Amino acid sequence: MNAVSKLPKLADITAAELITLLVAYVRRQFPVLITGAPGVGKSDIVASVAALLGYDLVISHPVTEDPTDPKGLPFPSADGLSARFLPFGNMHKILSATRPTIWFLDDLGQGSAAVQAAYMQLLLARRVGDHVLPDCVTFLAATNDRSHNAAVSGILDPVISRFATIVNLVPDIKSWSKWAVENNTPNELIAFLRFRQDLLYVPKKGRDIENFPTPRSWGFLGKKMPIIPKGQELREYAGSVGEAAAHELATFLDVYKEIPTLEEILLNPRGARLPDTAKPATATAIVSMLAGRTTATNFDTVMVYVNRMIDAGMREYVGFYIHDATTRDPSLQQTHTFQRESWAGELCKILGHELETA
């Protein structure tokens, strides 16, 4: 069995790149193996691709399976002289599929050698015994590697060779921020990770029972931040992302509380205080706050303040504002204010944001 070790850097791929790749390959029924650390979003991306393509998604976990799961259970004929293998569970679902379907083998490297071997013929020949996969089914698989303390023993060489490509998903702030904006993650958390991108993912070094920073754990934290009881914030931050990252976040949130409010900016867009250019954290915090609360009604007033930021040399931060605001509310792109500010569209394009056609 081949140890699942770290792939060459050439295999590294971001979430956005992986989605594009999978959309192209799944349509052609090319099987893909995705490696990556725990919590970087492998499973979520596969689910997103299935939804994007309108495919059904069947998820198998080889670590919980027996070799009979892919092949089926033997059942005697009526005369008792022969037997055939009857499919059950996910195998029965797959053989009955009539719509385009992704069969996702999650945590493949945790499966036993016997279970992996049972999938070999399905991956390449698309059949096992008398069972032939429908043409509408495409395989995807994911695994951690042995350095991730995830009970991965390895993957059989013949199994590895049955994938059209192997890629290694690496977390990146651009992809995570896009996901966070689309999923209504608190503005202050997005601002913090834009400011401290090195904390998006920090490998766990020990075996203590402690969470650590990953895209998944930050996502969990974002969901619970609005309901954490007062006075318990620091402990709950640490419970999601570890103590070190929790203290960094708490310090940043103190800065976030000091920035001008939306109400101050709307009341006096030409006089409300601007962030200190020597303190990037405040600029990041302000544009994230504004992006989360801009509407078609207040957009024109907010842009007066935003243009002052550009004049003060904070064009890059304003780019994040335009990107996030139009991601949350695409209709802003159709407003007279947006059309008037020709630089807004250009900044979005530089940041990789596809604008809607007016």
Distance CA 279, CA 272 (A): 17
Cα 338 from Cα 37, distance rounded (Å):
40
Query: What is the per-residue pLDDT for 358?
Result: 32
**Residues 4 and 154 sit within 8 Å (Cβ to Cβ):** yes
- Up-side HSE of residue 271: CA atoms within 13 Å toward CB? 3
Q: In the chain, what is the straight-line distance between the N-terminal and C-terminal CA atoms, in Å?
A: 55
In the chain, the domains with their CATH numbers are: 9-73+83-169 (3.40.50.300), 173-350 (no CATH)
As a whole number of angstroms, the distance between CA 19 and CA 25 comes to 10
pLDDT tier for residue 355 given thresholds of 50, 70 and 90: very low
pLDDT for the residue numbered 168:
93
134 to 97, 101, 116, 276: CA distances (angstroms): 7, 9, 20, 61
CA distances from 215 to 22, 190, 212, 221, 257 (A): 20, 11, 10, 10, 24
Element (H, E) at 34: strand 32-35
Between the alpha carbon of residue 131 and those of residues 96, 110, 134, the distances in Å are 11, 25, 9
The residues, any chain, with a CB within 8 Å of residue 224's CB and separated by 6 or more, are: 236, 240
Measured at the alpha carbon of residue 8, what is the angle toward residues 3 and 10, in degrees to the nearest 5? Answer: 145
Mean pLDDT over 226-243 rounds to: 96
| Residue 9 vs residues 12, 64, 132: alpha-carbon distances, Å | 5, 31, 37
d(CA 126, CA 46): 20
Kindly provide the b/e burial profile for residues 45-75, where b requires at least 16 CB atoms within 10 angstroms of the residue's own CB. bbebbbeebebbebebebbebeebbbbbeee
C-alpha to C-alpha distance for 69 and 105, rounded to whole angstroms:
13
pLDDT at 111: 82
Interval 291-336: pLDDT, tens: 999 999 999 999 999 999 999 999 888 888 998 998 899 999 888 8
Contact 102, 58 (CB under 8 A): yes
Report the mean per-residue pLDDT for the chain: 87
pLDDT of residue 315: 86
Confidence of residue 65 (pLDDT cuts 50, 70, 90): confident
